[in-house]
Each structure stands twice: as C-alpha cells, then as structure tokens.
Amino acid sequence: MKIIRALELEGKSPYFRALQTGNSPRIDMDGRPRMMLGSNNYLGLADHPLVVEGARKALERFGTGSTGSRLLNGTIDLHLELEAEIADWYGTEAAIVFTTGHQSNLGTVGALAGRGDVIVADSDAHASLHDAARFTDAQSVRFRHNDIDNLAEKLTAAAKRGRPTMVTVDGVYSMEGDLAPIDRIAEVCLEHNALLLVDEAHSVGVFGPDLTGVTELYGKADTTPLRTGTFSKSIASTGGFAVGSHDLIDAIRTNGRAFLFTAAGVPAAIGGALAAVRLIRSAEGRERAERCLANARFLRDSLASLGVPLIGPAIGPDGAETVTPIVPVIVGESLRAFAKWHELYEHGVFAALAHYPAVPLDRALLRLAVTAEHTFADLEEAATSIHTVLEPAVERRLVA
C-alpha cells in the first residue's frame, strides 16, 4: 500500500489510469496517445458497430437501469433471450446470467457447496473462485497448479471422509496464460465422483470449435457439468454466466445469493453481450479468434527473437506448444517491475503489471494482452519498446 501511494504521488502508478477514448489498440490516456496492450478485449468487439448497436437498442427500449434483482422486477426479455442464446451456444440444458463475472463464480459455487462439502481449487485459479470457496461453509483446499497427481491426492483424502467434492479451475489462467489440462482433470474428477467447474473467462470466444472455451478444445464439453464465464473480456460487455443441466442451473437460480441479492444486469450491458455472442457465433467471430491468436504468436515470437524473457508457452491438448491472447513478460523484483512499467508507459505502451501476491514473489510480470484488432506493425513496435526498456543498462553501454 505504501509503495502504491508513493508511486501515485509521483505519477508513476500503473493502476487506476483513466482512458479518454474507447478500448481499442490505440487509446488516449493521460492526455496522449498510447498503444493498449493491457486490455482483455481479445476479439476487439468493445467498439464493434453491431455490439454498440445492440447496447443502444436495449438502452432505448428498456432505459438505463434494472432497478431491482432478477428475482423481483429486474428481469427483462433480454436476460431470458441471452440465457437461451448461451445455452444453445454451449449445448447445455440451461444457462443463467449474472450481473458481473465475479458474481457468476460466487453465485454458482455458493449455491452448490456448503457445510460438510470440500471445494478443491487450483492454486492459480482466479480470485473469484477462491473467494467463492471462502464465502461458503465448505472446506476449502488447494492443489498445486495443474498438478494432476496432487489433485488426485486431495480428492482421495476427501473421498475417504465421505465428503462431496467440487473441483474449480480456470480454462486459461489469467496471469501466465497457460491452459488447464481439462482432459486429465475431468478424468480424475470422474474417478472420484467430484463435480467439476471450469471458468472459461479468458478462453470463451477464443478456443474450441464453437469458441466456447478450453473445455470444448479438449473435447470434454459433454462431460463437464459446470462452466462459468464473463462478458467483460471477449464478449466486450459486463456480466457473467454459468451453464449446465436444468437441475444445476435451477439450484443456482434459487439458492445463489450473488444472483438473488443484487440488481440485474443493466439493459445496455445485456443487449451488448447478446449482440457480441451472436457475432462470435458467426464466421466473423471465428476469423477474429484466429486473428487474435495469430497476433499473440507474432508478438511472442517478436519478443523471443529480441531476447526478452518470457513465461514458457502454453501446452495444448495434443501436447504441442500453443499461444493464448496473454503474453507474459518476466520482469522480476516488484520495485524493478514498477519502474520498468513506467518506462514502457513513457514509451507510449500501456501494459498490465502483475506483482505479488497475484504472481510469486520476485516474479513480477508485464502481462501483455493482444486483440484481433492489433496489426503486426503495432506489435513489432511494442516488442521493440519492451526490449528497449528491459535491456540491461550495461548491455546498452556495450552496444553504444
């Protein structure tokens, strides 16, 4: 806290910077143009005309606010239409829409797990999944990141005590951009009769034949009981969702406190999300997903060719190296990371900074995120700026 406050006083904090323009590859921030490499707008839909039009029509028809919970007066036709669209997209019996992505995990886990149960979460799972476990009366257990043997040990221990178990993982992990091995996780969960929940927040719209996420990429969509996601990334709005059987979704709808006791998603957000989902399901959506991953590979290859230290590549279902929209650059010690972030910002590039406890101590990252709207020229320019900033001073002197 003291470090952040001191940086704010010096005008060097990476947090709470205000945009003066919409979210696109080139933005205005602090009164000057910069390249945006810190946004989760993976498909570049945040300013897409069809998505904007969907939000505008909803605003004009229903007004600005829901003024109540979904349980009472907050449900509008668009909520139901969006839930039906998502259920059809995911090939599930039902879907439920939440006001935020964070609430989608709190509401889902909170409705289905309680006293006497065990929730086993990947240690690197999103904060909302860990928060969800803490807010229940269930026992919260963590397994080592993507360590299937460790997961099996935790599930075996729970089974010996005869305790119902839920396993929660991310499809794509938000800091380092690696994939969960959903095929092996699903197999272990099946062996131990554990309910698997996969959060597709960073993979929806990007992975899988129908772009529903990593679970589909691994061919486990039909055997994974629960998936959640958010509208705030590829879907370019605000809100979240869960999909599953009628019984599971009805249990969430009637018992999920994060669903029942908050105002419904506002019309513009729901209308924009519905338009974005329909666009993602079109040929244009597939093309944008392919372009996003091609951009990620280009940026990663450009940085690697310059000797910039990177987190190891993600591994796909076939065991081969792959990419995600997240390209993490290793900076190291937190204070150095803050300084390097500011240097890069002064070079006209905005990146997200991740430091402890979001990542391990002394392993701070510049978390770069590409979109379908970046060009190779944009990314080459950014790679050069990042290399210039991170290159050790002694090496610069030798070159000079």
Residue 393: Cβ-neighbour burial (10 angstroms; 0-12, 13-18, 19+) = exposed
Query: Which pLDDT value is given to residue 2?
Result: 67
49-280: CATH topology is: Aspartate Aminotransferase; domain 2 (3.40.640)
Residue 19: Cβ-neighbour burial (10 angstroms; 0-12, 13-18, 19+) = middle
What are the backbone dihedrals phi and psi of residue 70, each rounded to the nearest 5 degrees, phi first?
A: -60, -35
Query: Which pLDDT value is given to residue 1?
Result: 61
Query: Which pLDDT value is given to residue 397?
Result: 36
Which CATH code is given to the segment(s) 2-46+283-399?
A: 3.90.1150.10
User: Under a CB-based contact definition with an 8 Å cutoff, are residues 218 and 317 in contact?
Assistant: yes
Show contacts of 85-91: CB within 8 Å, 24+ apart: 85/274, 85/277, 85/278, 86/241, 86/243, 86/277, 87/243, 89/210, 89/212, 89/277, 89/281, 90/212, 90/221, 90/227, 90/243, 91/210, 91/221, 91/222
Do 49-280 and 2-46+283-399 have the same topology in CATH?
no
Q: Where are the domains of the chain?
A: 2-46+283-399, 49-280
DSSP state string for 357-379: TSS-TT-EEEEEE--TT--HHHH
Query: Which pLDDT value is given to residue 9?
Result: 77
Query: Which pLDDT value is given to residue 392?
Result: 67
Using alpha carbons, list the distances in angstroms from residue 266 to 21, 41, 65, 229. 22, 20, 5, 18
pLDDT digit string (tens) for the chain, length 400 residues: 667 777 777 787 889 999 999 888 999 999 999 999 999 999 999 999 999 999 999 999 999 999 999 999 999 999 999 999 999 999 999 999 999 999 999 999 999 999 999 999 999 999 999 999 999 999 999 999 999 999 999 999 999 888 899 999 999 999 999 999 999 999 999 999 999 999 999 999 999 999 999 999 999 999 999 999 999 999 999 999 999 999 999 999 999 999 999 999 999 999 999 999 999 999 999 999 999 999 999 999 999 999 999 998 999 999 999 999 999 999 999 889 999 999 999 999 999 999 888 788 888 999 999 999 999 999 999 999 999 999 864 344 334 4
